[in-house]
Amino acid sequence: MIDHEFPVGDSPSVTIGTRSGRIRVEAGDPGVVRILVDTRDSTFEVTRRGDAILASGERGGRADVTVHAPPMIDVEVSTASADVDVVTPVGRLEIASASGDLVFDTATRLQAKSASGTVRGNGVEGEARCVTASGDIRIGIVGQRADLSTASGEIVLEQCDGALSVASLSGDIRVERYTGLDLNAKSMSGGVRIGIPPRTRLDLDASTLSGKISLPSSVLSPEPPEREISVKVRLVSGNLRIDRVD
């Protein structure tokens, strides 16, 4: 068992590299990063470069890593199949994985790439960029721009306040509430469902070859619109549905 504790300054970060295992980031004490590693890889090391903590092994064996982190630490993980569980709010969160799942609380910025792993989190304050092949993408709220794409997985976004680009080949796309100004969605056989707030003027450019398009009623409101959003949707066989939501 490796157990290291490092005092850090105002901008700490941790970078973890392992082929398989489990990675968990938990809330710790301010100004201190503690890392515990359970592994049989004798080359696995935990080192420090300023406020950057590095944890990895040369053999690429299994490692279970637990990080007790100060608030809003930056986290970067590279792994083949390790699951990543971030249960405390972090700053920049960057994940590169083949088959491991990512579950996180909140991050100020997110960048995630996975082949078959799922990405699931409560929220991203700033920009979110996620790419998966067959894994689902499920995020609560994105405060700024979001670029989300998957081949056969499903994309579910509870709310996005900035520009949004979503793409899927066969998985469904669902945006529960869109409050930004520019949404672009593409899908081959999956459906697209979008919720827009009341008093929103819709500038729609949508097409589908064999699917159906369902739009909200055009009942006139006595109050002027609060926003105008541009929505561009390209479908092949999927359906498009846009609803007004509170």
* Secondary structure (3-state) at 130: strand
90 touches 73 (CB < 8 A): yes
- pTM of this structure: 0.92
5-44 as b/e: b if 16+ CB within 10 A: ebebeeebbbbbbbbbbbbbbeebeeeebbbbbebebeeb
Exposed, middle or buried: residue 162 (CB in 10 Å: 0-12, 13-18, 19+)? middle
181 touches 198 (CB < 8 A): no
Distance CA 147, CA 131 (A): 8
Ranges of each domain in the chain: 1-90, 118-246
Distance CA 134, CA 152 (A): 5
Each residue's pLDDT, cut to its tens digit, for the chain (246 residues) gives 899 999 999 999 999 999 999 999 999 999 999 999 999 989 999 999 999 999 998 777 799 999 999 999 999 999 999 999 999 999 999 999 988 899 999 999 999 999 888 999 999 999 999 999 988 999 999 999 999 999 988 999 999 999 999 999 989 999 999 999 999 999 999 999 999 998 898 999 999 998 999 998 765 556 777 789 999 999 999 899 999 998
Distance CA 183, CA 63 (A): 41
DSSP secondary structure string for all residues of 171-239: S-EEEEEE-SSEEEEEESSS-EEEEE-SSEEEEEEEE-SSS-EE----PPPSSPPSEEEEEEEEESS--
